[in-house]
């Protein structure tokens, strides 16, 4: 029988801030999304204040200030580095891990000989000592049960942050008290549609007739129900397959009306998407550009449009991708609107080396592959944007607002942590 562990960092972004500024350990902390828009990470004290995930910052600003909460803009450079450290430690203690997101990973514990809870506690202790990151560990025979075990580990501190849910009697006890919306794969909409059927808890879902679930809700929910019964349907995916679509999009730091700065933003996003494309060694056959005004204010005229543009030949050359994206952007741009966001989505991806070139397609630029690879190497070593196309500004005036950002303590020579002895 397989044994899965789900290891998940507590309030990941907040914990990263606390690792680098230990004095924050004694105060509540929140981290904001891009543009300091909404709250996306909260320490437990803040959760107790009743500040919900995703709360718009401007609505809770006063409440946070009154409670003495320290507010930080998100510092993804720092979080990515801490994440790598966490994953490296996990990989050193488990035969296989699947990195599931920036702050959590699945582990294969099938071969672990000693007591599972004890082993979970050792993983937890090592992450705390070596990286400074507090985590919760959920262990069970399916991924869905392990996820629920992890939920229990966080909900009840008395568990010491580790819950072993391999025993069927314990499974039943937990499933009976867990609301169905806590189950991995059951969101708000599904939970609302399940309630009329009398499905309120995870246990109700596990016991419900499988055939009806499949007919009414599809195979995804059927799989979830089977997993809750202890039948493993989802395995560990080491080295996930290359992505089938790559997106880069961001709200502008301020509203943009003219085409010029929107082109700069588009160039910046295309550059970023092309880097991700080359990282997974894919080529792009088509891209979608889109542009929109903000949708929260009904007073202002709204406009949103998108366009799919094929590439003449599959490519990973930033110059070719950008030329096509800018042509598409000119098509959908209309003067007279205050735009808040644009996006590029690379689609029709194929793996380099697996494409049959079109005999009649225009010849690729000479040396393009080598050029792009050198640009990527320089930017990796010297920092993103060291070598870039002319359209991409260094410090755009439309860039992200992040007024409360911590330093890049672990990745920038000028911002290293200083320790007093």
Residues lying near DNA in the complex (CB under 7 A) are found at 33-35, 37-38, 40, 54, 56, 58, 100-104, 147, 183-191, 218-220, 243-251, 255, 272, 276, 294, 296-297, 308, 340-341, 343
| Whole-angstrom distance, CA of residue 150 vs CA of residue 137 | 5
CB of 364 to DNA, least distance (A): 22
Task: Give exposure, 50-59, as e/b (b: 16+ Cβ within 10 Å).
Answer: ebeeebebee
> Are 97 and 107 spatial neighbours (Cβ–Cβ below 8 Å)?
yes
> Are 7 and 123 spatial neighbours (Cβ–Cβ below 8 Å)?
yes
Nearer to DNA by Cβ, of 27 and 234: the residue is 234
Residue 146, SS3?
helix
CB of 304 to DNA, least distance (A): 12
Question: Could you tell me the two tokens for 405?
Answer: 């950002």
CB of 250 to DNA, least distance (A): 3
Nearer to DNA by Cβ, of 211 and 367: the residue is 211
Phi and psi at 125, nearest 5°, equal -65, -40
Nearer to DNA by Cβ, of 112 and 264: the residue is 264
| Whole-angstrom distance, CA of residue 95 vs CA of residue 236 | 11
CB of 219 to DNA, least distance (A): 4
Nearer to DNA by Cβ, of 220 and 386: the residue is 220
Instruction: Put residue 181 in one of left, alpha, beta given phi > 0 → left and psi -120 to 50 → alpha.
Output: alpha
Tokens 């588009």 -> residue? 266
Nearer to DNA by Cβ, of 112 and 290: the residue is 290
**Residue 297, CB-side half-sphere exposure with 13 Å CA sphere:** 10
CB of 369 to DNA, least distance (A): 21
Nearer to DNA by Cβ, of 18 and 147: the residue is 147
Nearer to DNA by Cβ, of 212 and 244: the residue is 244
CB of 138 to DNA, least distance (A): 11
Tokens 């909404």 -> residue? 38
Nearer to DNA by Cβ, of 52 and 168: the residue is 52
Question: Could you tell me the two tokens for 191?
Answer: 């939970």
**Residue 347, CB-side half-sphere exposure with 13 Å CA sphere:** 11
| Whole-angstrom distance, CA of residue 75 vs CA of residue 41 | 12
Nearer to DNA by Cβ, of 112 and 246: the residue is 246
CB of 109 to DNA, least distance (A): 19
Nearer to DNA by Cβ, of 38 and 112: the residue is 38
CB of 343 to DNA, least distance (A): 6
Task: Determine how β-strand 70-73 pairs with β-strand 97-101.
Answer: unpaired
315 sits in which H/E element: strand 304-315
CB of 294 to DNA, least distance (A): 5
> Are 337 and 259 spatial neighbours (Cβ–Cβ below 8 Å)?
no
| Whole-angstrom distance, CA of residue 27 vs CA of residue 23 | 8
CB of 189 to DNA, least distance (A): 3
| Whole-angstrom distance, CA of residue 75 vs CA of residue 83 | 12
């Amino acid at each position: 029988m397989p044994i899965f562990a789900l290891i998940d960092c507590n309030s990941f972004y907040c914990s990263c801030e606390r690792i680098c500024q230990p004095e924050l350990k004694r105060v509540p902390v929140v981290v904001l999304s891009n543009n300091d828009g909404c709250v996306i990470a909260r320490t437990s004290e803040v959760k107790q204040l009743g500040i919900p995930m995703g709360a718009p910052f401007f609505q809770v600003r006063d409440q946070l200030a009154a409670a003495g909460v320290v507010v930080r803009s998100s510092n993804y450079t720092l979080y990515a580095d801490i994440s790598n450290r966490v994953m490296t430690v996990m990989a050193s203690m488990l035969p296989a891990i699947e990195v599931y997101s920036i702050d959590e990973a699945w582990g294969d514990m099938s071969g672990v000989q000693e007591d599972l809870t004890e082993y979970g506690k050792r993983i937890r202790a090592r992450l705390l000592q070596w990286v400074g990151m507090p985590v919760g560990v959920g262990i069970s025979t399916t991924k869905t049960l392990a996820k629920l075990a992890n939920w229990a580990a966080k909900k009840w501190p008395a568990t010491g942050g580790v819950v072993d849910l391999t025993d069927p009697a314990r499974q039943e006890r937990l499933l009976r008290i867990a609301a169905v919306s806590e189950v991995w794969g059951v969101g708000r909409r599904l939970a609302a549609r399940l309630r009329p059927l009398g499905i309120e808890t995870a246990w109700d879902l596990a016991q419900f007739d499988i055939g009806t679930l499949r007919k009414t809700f599809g195979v995804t929910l059927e799989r979830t129900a089977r997993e809750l019964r202890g039948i493993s349907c989802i395995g560990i995916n080491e080295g996930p397959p290359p992505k089938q679509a790559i997106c880069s999009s961001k709200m502008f730091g301020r509203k943009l009306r003219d085409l010029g700065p929107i082109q700069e933003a588009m160039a910046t996003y295309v550059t970023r998407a092309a880097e991700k494309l080359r990282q997974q060694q894919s080529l792009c056959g088509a891209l979608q550009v889109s542009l929109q005004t903000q949708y929260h204010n009904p007073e202002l005229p709204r406009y949103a449009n998108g366009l799919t543009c094929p590439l003449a030949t599959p490519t990973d050359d930033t110059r070719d991708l950008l030329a096509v994206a800018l042509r598409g952007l000119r098509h959908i741009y209309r003067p007279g609107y205050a735009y808040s966001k644009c996006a590029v989505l690379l689609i029709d991806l194929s793996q380099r080396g697996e494409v049959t070139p079109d005999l009649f397609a225009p010849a690729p630029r000479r040396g393009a592959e080598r050029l792009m690879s050198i640009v990527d190497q320089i930017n990796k070593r010297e920092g993103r944007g060291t070598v870039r196309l002319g359209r991409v500004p260094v410090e755009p005036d439309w860039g992200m607002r992040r007024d409360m950002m911590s330093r890049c303590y672990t990745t920038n020579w000028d911002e290293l942590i200083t320790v007093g002895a």
